[in-house]
Amino acid sequence: MFENIKDQFPIFKNKIKGKKLVYLDSANSSQKPQAVIDAVNNFYTNEFSNVGRGIYTLAVNASEKYETTRLNIKKFIGANSETEVVFTKNATESLNLVASCFGEKFINKDDEIILTELEHHANYVPWHFLRKKKGAVIKFLPIDHNGDLKIDELENLITSKTKIISVTHMSNVTGTINPLDQIISIAKKHNIPVCVDGTQGAAHLDVNFDQLGCDFYAFSGHKMYGPTGVGMLALKYKWLDEFGPFLGGGGMIDFVSKKDIAYARGVWKMEAGTMPTAEVVALNEAITFINNLGKQNIINHEHQLTQIALEKLKNNNAVKIVAHPKAQGGVFSFNIDEIHSHDVSTILDQEGVAVRGGHHCCQILHDVLSINSSVRVSFGVYNTSEDIEILCESIKKCQKIFKK
Ligand SMILES: Cc1ncc(COP(=O)(O)O)c(C=O)c1O
């Protein structure tokens, strides 16, 4: 669909082991278009200054660009004036911010947190900290044999002790797209805030924060064609008032004396110390890149690639797809009979094919699926049906080597 789009990504000019690069690991991190790389380079070359501090020309310009990205991120995820976007270093930090600040104030002994069996460790470990620190209880909404959430069981998990529900928008292993509208409407009935791990959603799915009505949406710049080192947390403004600060230091204060400290209000309370300035500025180019392609076109493109790949792999009896969710984005995982996922990944690399083998930071999900690892294929806008041909041929080569 996106003809010649690889030309915008300089990495595809390189060969891997003498072969053309077939990059099928965008769920891990996406490749970067030239415009994003140029924006980082230009900022350091011509415009560099820290933000939110100096009042000289360079500092004012840098601060303006930083805030422009914030505004554009808000538009990008459909957030209104009652919503804010805090910059962090990645989605993991955004989720830690929510768990830490929410937990500090609202979680006490025996209070319950509902997660799902699909969660990445980034949306489990921070809540586990609260289990350890506060004696909270974590409950998991289970999945069915297709890899879909058993949404009918959510009501039964909720009790008067349930304080928050935190759920991924899309699984980074099965590609399951969760029915957030249903989850949020059930949660709202019980007055329970919902945190969405949008790490796999932001660049690949339709996101409208206001329409969804969740309280928090966490995501990472590097998975949406932007730089590493910058993450986002969209949150309803009221939480910024409710929460204490996450990290302490420069930039997050209003007033400091030997006796006491008053914290800054709004997003600045949460942005302590020097932020990933060049990364935030360059992220603006990533948003423009996605907007120019059009979200719906991206969704269609990745959906189509997934269907083509799954159809082709059906013809290979040794390939076992780990889940068949009803609504699936551009991600799926598989195993080949009696070949470890790391071996598959290593052999595919010989063919220039980059896929991830392992548990993809989802050990609970792998336990539930009764497997210890899997090979993951995840698409980005630059992938083509030719990439899928090469993947399928490389899998056959791998089987030949292992005689499977
Ligand atoms: C669903 C999901 N949540 C959270 C994360 C963590 O993202 P980051 O490493 O950018 O913090 C990932 C990374 O793969 C993910 O796939």
How far out from the chain centre does Cα 213 lie? 19
> What percent of the chain has pLDDT above 70?
100
Indicate if ligand 1 lies below 6 Å from the C-beta of 96: no
Q: To test the ligand 1 pocket, which listed residue (223, 283, 363, 365) has its Cβ within 8 A of the most ligand atoms? A: 223
Q: How far apart are CA 224 and CA 26, in angstroms?
A: 9
Tens-digit pLDDT profile for residues 95-137: 999 999 999 999 999 999 999 999 999 999 999 999 999 999 9
Per annotation, catalytic residue among 361, 362, 392, 398: 361
Q: What is the pLDDT of residue 80?
A: 85
Tens-digit pLDDT profile for residues 182-198: 999 999 999 999 999 99
Q: Which atom of ligand 1 is nearest to the CA of 361?
A: 14
Strand 356-358 and strand 374-378: the pairing is antiparallel
Indicate if ligand 1 lies below 6 Å from the C-beta of 31: no
Question: Is residue 347 pLDDT above 80, yes or no?
Answer: yes
Tens-digit pLDDT profile for residues 350-359: 999 999 999 9
Q: How far apart are CA 359 and CA 124, in angstroms?
A: 15
Residue ranges and CATH numbers for the domains of the chain are 5-32+294-402 (3.90.1150.10), 37-291 (3.40.640.10)
Q: What is the pLDDT of residue 52?
A: 84
Indicate if ligand 1 lies below 6 Å from the C-beta of 166: no
Q: In the predicted model, what is the mean pLDDT of the chain?
A: 97
Indicate if ligand 1 lies below 6 Å from the C-beta of 199: yes
Q: Is 361 marked active-site?
A: yes
According to DSSP, the residues that pair with 319 across neighbouring strands are 336
253 closest CA partner among 237, 272, 277:
272
Tens-digit pLDDT profile for residues 16-64: 999 999 999 999 999 999 999 999 999 999 999 999 888 999 999 999 9
Question: Is residue 396 pLDDT above 90, yes or no?
Answer: yes
Q: What is the pLDDT of residue 1?
A: 77
Q: How far apart are CA 252 and CA 265, in angstroms?
A: 8
pLDDT band with cut points at 50, 70 and 90 for residue 360: very high
Tens-digit pLDDT profile for residues 226-240: 999 999 999 999 999
Q: How far apart are CA 238 and CA 81, in angstroms?
A: 11
Q: Tokens at residue 147, please?
A: 């890899």
According to DSSP, the residues that pair with 261 across neighbouring strands are 256
